Amino acid sequence: MPKVEKLLLSCSSARPSAHTSRTLIGFKSREQYMKCIKQLANFGIRPVKIFRRGRAIVCHVDSRFSEQLQSLARHPDINYIEPDFKIHAHGFVPAAENRSAGGGRQAWKSSTPLVKKQLRLSSRANARGEDDETDAPWNIKQVQAPKVWPTTRGSASGIGIIDTGIARHSDLYVTGGVNTMGGSSYLDDNGHGTHVAGIAAALGKNGMQPGVAPRAKLYAIKALDANGSGYVSDLIKGIEWCIKKKIPIINMSLGLSGENSNALKEAVERARKSGIVVIASAGNSGPNNSGGIDQPARFSDAIAVASSTRSGKTADYSSRGSGIDVTAPGSYIRSTWPGGGYMVLSGTSMSCPHVAAGAALLKSLNPGLSPSGVAKLLRSSAKKLSGDSSSRQGYGLVQLFDAASLSHKSTETARASKRTRTKSSKKK
């Protein structure tokens, strides 16, 4: 069989054309990965993206050389070959006529026509300059976040928002970020990422609207463009950046529907093994998602989040299927928006940051919590929504105060057990 580097060279192109497609290629060994990069470079071909941790590259593959491509796919040194799939944000502008039901929607648009609809809050402020439980919006109260705030507001944790970026806003503080699409700025040119960030960690100062974890550190990872779309490889690059920076929580309010990406699955696995809590939205296909919930929410290494309404029912647009872990508010959620105002959006995109920020509160209370520990607490404390099956809501509506209480009890039990073992060993 020909060497893997020669096969790859035979069907790769230095630039995109009508005959090429972006393709993700994963290698079984680092040695073959390095050989292929070197061979391509010798012939002036630079991969679109390279992933050292994942031993993978993105190349422009020419479909006219299908025989060579098939041979490459069968090569024992190749882990996978797949299209560099497009992923999309899971938020939308809700249809006003369906507001009471938390129902209908409009297709996702770029931010430009939406800015005119910004909503501004009144300038109420309490003595501390931070909103208390009374001023928190309904969705923040519904997940019990304000009940946790007297103990922590999430300052000991950080959340990587892999999305369209985060815009400048007086109610948001961004600690850092990166653009994985080839640009230099992680500022939001769509609005979706800014909205997600506000739900997670808006500061809530001077009468403005607080997020679930108002003092958690926000990191903007821009992997989606002005239309709310991006490539799987951009998403993987963002995940690897979070691993490198040791960001404890990743929020992905986006998904890949009807396709399977081995490359994305392996990236989420690497994040989890690195100790990162990965939270992902289930999707907005409602009962029509015959393929189940979207990736990466579908992966066992991610916590999958469905969407509920203000009345405590699963939203009709929320994707159904096995693998959903918990539910959080997602219908008619007001949050931060580019330009300094606020916007109302719906979708599992809006549900996801409630859970990611909830994980930040739990990690702030107990920094030693593992990803599986966080998932277990969220599931065990969730409140079942009456009349909804587990395929719609998972374990139920997230209850953060109850989760924090469970964590405290577990910690105290472990300490008591340790003290008992210590006393026993001393007696011996």
Residues recognised as catalytic: 163, 192, 349
The CA distance from 235 to 224, in Å, is: 8
Helical (H) or strand (E) element with 162: strand 158-163
The CA distance from 154 to 215, in Å, is: 5
The CA distance from 251 to 347, in Å, is: 14
Nearest to 343 by CA among 106, 118, 114: 118
Q: Three-class SS of residue 123?
A: coil
For β-strands 86-89 and 254-255, DSSP reports them as antiparallel
Tokens linked to 203: 């500061």
Burial readout 73-107 (b: 16 or more C-beta within 10 A, e: otherwise): eebebbbbbbebbebbbbbbbbeeebbeebbebee
Q: Which amino acid is at 334?
A: R
The CA distance from 426 to 410, in Å, is: 24
